[in-house]
């Protein structure tokens, strides 16, 4: 039986990829690294420091910066990103998400958030969605980031629901892998081939297709 739904944030509840893109692009360009939208795709679901490492590697300067300098660079990016976030409003919630959260609440399904973003609590506040979530995992509390299952497992534990009765929703391949590693049913939002390849059990083209009844139907078929 489906007892809990655990959401990713960026790309599922709100489309922050574009905001991360502007903030990372500014930072990358300031140290002479080109930064494209295509490369930005590779950073979905990847932690702040993990993203910075990838950018430095991409620019061929992986060994050039000390740990202290890297923390400084990540802080510059985050300050810029946090400034962009101040413009975020409930209107930015992706279509269908609020309705789906209401469906879950009406059906006594527990709701959790498993985002790699340390800005997640602030984002939920800007979107006025905080009250729906029974647990919001701080990514610093788990040993390994996505694609490791840790963050989804911690959310299930906090909700007191076994992973086999949890649904995870993700837009990134690293996230789908994390959900499957956690032993949960994975709903992928995005391109069919990409999501199937990552291991998604159900693929939706858009968040408008999120519907508890149809997810339950697919879940029962898999059981
Ligand atoms: C999400 C996004 C990533 C981002 C990460 C950390 O997983 O998809 O692009 O790097 O969160 O976000 P933060 O807000 O902590 O820098
Ligand atoms: Mg995401």
Tens of pLDDT along the chain (223 residues)? 999 999 999 999 999 999 999 999 999 999 999 999 999 988 998 999 999 999 999 999 999 999 999 999 999 999 999 999 999 999 999 999 999 999 999 999 999 999 999 999 999 999 999 999 999 999 999 999 999 999 999 999 999 999 999 999 999 999 999 999 999 999 999 999 999 999 999 999 999 999 999 999 999 998 7
**Residues in contact with 44: Cβ distance below 8 Å, sequence separation at least 6, in sequence order:** 10, 11, 17, 171, 172, 173, 174, 175
Q: Which residue has the tokens 């959401």?
A: 7
Contact 166, 156 (CB under 8 A): yes
Please name the residue whose Cα sits nearest to atom 2 of ligand 1.
Answer: 45
**pLDDT score at 77:** 98
C-alpha–C-alpha distance, residues 26 and 77, integer Å: 8
**pLDDT score at 39:** 95
Contacts 24+ apart (CB under 8 A), 76-83: 76/27, 76/30, 77/23, 77/24, 77/26, 77/27, 77/48, 77/52, 78/23, 78/48, 78/119, 80/22, 80/23, 80/26, 80/27, 81/19, 81/20, 81/23, 81/119, 82/119, 82/122
Q: Is 77 in the pocket of ligand 1 (CB under 6 A)?
A: no
Q: Is 46 in the pocket of ligand 1 (CB under 6 A)?
A: yes
Q: Angle, nearest 10°, between helix axes 67-85 and 17-30?
A: 140
Task: Give this prediction's pTM.
Answer: 0.95
**pLDDT score at 223:** 75
Instruction: Look at residue 193 and give its three-state secondary structure.
Output: helix
Separation of CA 203 and ligand 1 centre (Å): 22
Q: Is 173 in the pocket of ligand 1 (CB under 6 A)?
A: no
**pLDDT score at 136:** 98
**pLDDT score at 60:** 96
Show the tokens assigned to 160: 């007191």
Mutate to test the pocket of ligand 1, among 6, 9, 20, 122 (most ligand atoms within 8 A of CB): 20
What interface predicted TM-score (ipTM) does this complex get? 0.98
Separation of CA 41 and ligand 2 centre (Å): 10
């Amino acid at each position: 039986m489906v007892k809990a739904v655990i959401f990713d944030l960026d790309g599922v509840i709100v489309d922050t990829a574009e905001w991360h893109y502007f903030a990372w692009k500014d930072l990358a360009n300031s140290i002479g690294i080109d930064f494209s939208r295509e490369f930005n795709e590779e950073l979905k679901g990847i932690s702040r420091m993990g993203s910075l490492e990838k950018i430095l590697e991409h620019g061929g300067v992986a060994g050039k910066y000390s740990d202290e300098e890297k923390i400084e660079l990540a802080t510059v990016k985050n300050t810029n990103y946090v400034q962009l976030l101040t413009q975020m409003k409930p209107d930015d919630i992706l279509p269908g998400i609020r309705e789906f959260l209401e469906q879950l609440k009406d059906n006594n399904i527990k709701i959790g958030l498993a985002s790699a973003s340390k800005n997640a609590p602030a984002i939920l506040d800007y979107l006025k969605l905080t009250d729906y979530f029974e647990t919001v995992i701080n990514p610093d509390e788990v040993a390994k980031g996505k694609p490791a299952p840790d963050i989804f497992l911690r959310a299930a534990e906090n909700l007191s629901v076994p992973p086999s009765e949890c649904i995870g929703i993700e837009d990134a391949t690293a996230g789908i892998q994390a959900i499957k590693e956690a032993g949960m049913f994975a709903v992928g939002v995005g391109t069919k081939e990409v999501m199937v390849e990552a291991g998604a059990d159900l693929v939706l083209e858009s968040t408008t297709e999120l519907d508890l009844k149809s997810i339950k139907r697919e879940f029962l078929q898999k059981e």
